[in-house]
Amino acid sequence: MPHRIILGRPLHPAGAAVLAARGDLDITELFDPAADALHAALADADGLIAWLERVDHAALAAAPRLRAVSRVGVGFDTIDIPACSERGIPVMVVNGTNDLSVAEHAMMLMLAVARRAVDADAHVKAGGWWPEDGPRMVDLAGRTVLVVGYGRIGARVAQYCRAFHMRVLVHDPLYHPARIAADGHEPARDLHAALARSDVVTLHCPLTPHTHHLMDEAALAALRPGAILVNTARGPVAQQAAVAAALRSGRLMGFGTDVLETEPAEPGNPLLSLPNVVVSPHSAASTEEGLSRMAVAAARNLLDALDGRPDPAMMVNPGILQRG
């Protein structure tokens, strides 16, 4: 009997080819389904390849046959890990496939804000040239950047920032300071003390109860005036109202973000009407190469899990393998 597989979106052709080669799969493609449509599709599903679909108690209750969840990405805040673990369902992520793409995107946002790229582009396209007051642009070289989160993506961004001749501070309680120092960066245990020294802050931490609104009013007040904030992590890591207020007051020079607290963007989002805010649609990992790498890994992860041999290095909940 074929495995019934649900795709939250059409998979990149490279990943689709991995699935097609099996010959024992019944695949249904959705596209960013609403919760009721996803639940209906999961009713007889054995596996799910998910993007940002919520796999919560309601979804699991609608999926009595579900045996594996594979994310096209490395974050898992949309998945109820304890509930999946209770059911013995492996939750797989594509570790090592998107760090290059997201790190490059973070640098693009950093540069776009530092050089007022979007504002200047809009001004010229509207018929202007050099504005009377001149665009306020800054160099990255010689500035201090605080990298928050030192996983694969944060570590790459730290390397790229050093290549731009920036001073690199790293804040991540999960990494020993000696490890960070060995990579040539300065460990920063105290977040607010590090913020006071920082011209640029780039966020690469997962969304957890501890990191929710990590960049709040107090954190932004601790920053050097005129700093740049970049977020390619998750929207709620930066408190949207506090960021908007800091931009209006001039505390922040600009904000580059790939993520918002509510996605897709709501029409009333104050960030959308402010100058020197660069927003991309949660697409940092979605280069042609990145999509290919993630799709192949997500497809292989799902098949490995359905075959009873999930790779622990790709699992969020490898502890379920110890149950015997």
The answer to whether 263 is a known catalytic residue is yes
Return the sign of the alpha-carbon dihedral for residues 111, 146, 105, 227.
negative
The answer to whether 12 is a known catalytic residue is no
**Catalytic member of 86, 263, 266, 289:** 263
The answer to whether 234 is a known catalytic residue is yes
**Catalytic member of 156, 234, 251, 293:** 234
**Catalytic member of 156, 171, 251, 282:** 282
- HEC string of the chain equals CCEEEEECCCCCHHHHHHHHCCCCEEEEECCCCCHHHHHHHHHHCCEEEECCCCECHHHHHCCCCCCEEEECCCCCCCECHHHHHHHCCCEECCCCCCHHHHHHHHHHHHHHHHCCHHHHHHHHHCCCCCCCCCCCCCCCCCCEEEEECCCHHHHHHHHHHHHCCCEEEEECCCCCHHHHHHCCCEECCCHHHHHCCCCEEEECCCCCCCCCCCECHHHHHHCCCCEEEEECCCHHHECHHHHHHHHHHCCEEEEEECCCCCCCCCCCCHHHHCCCEEECCCCCCCCHHHHHHHHHHHHHHHHHHHCCCCCHHHECCHHHHHHC
CA–CA separation, 233 and 206 (whole Å): 6
- The residue type found at 158 is A
Query: Which residues belong to the active site?
Result: 234, 263, 282
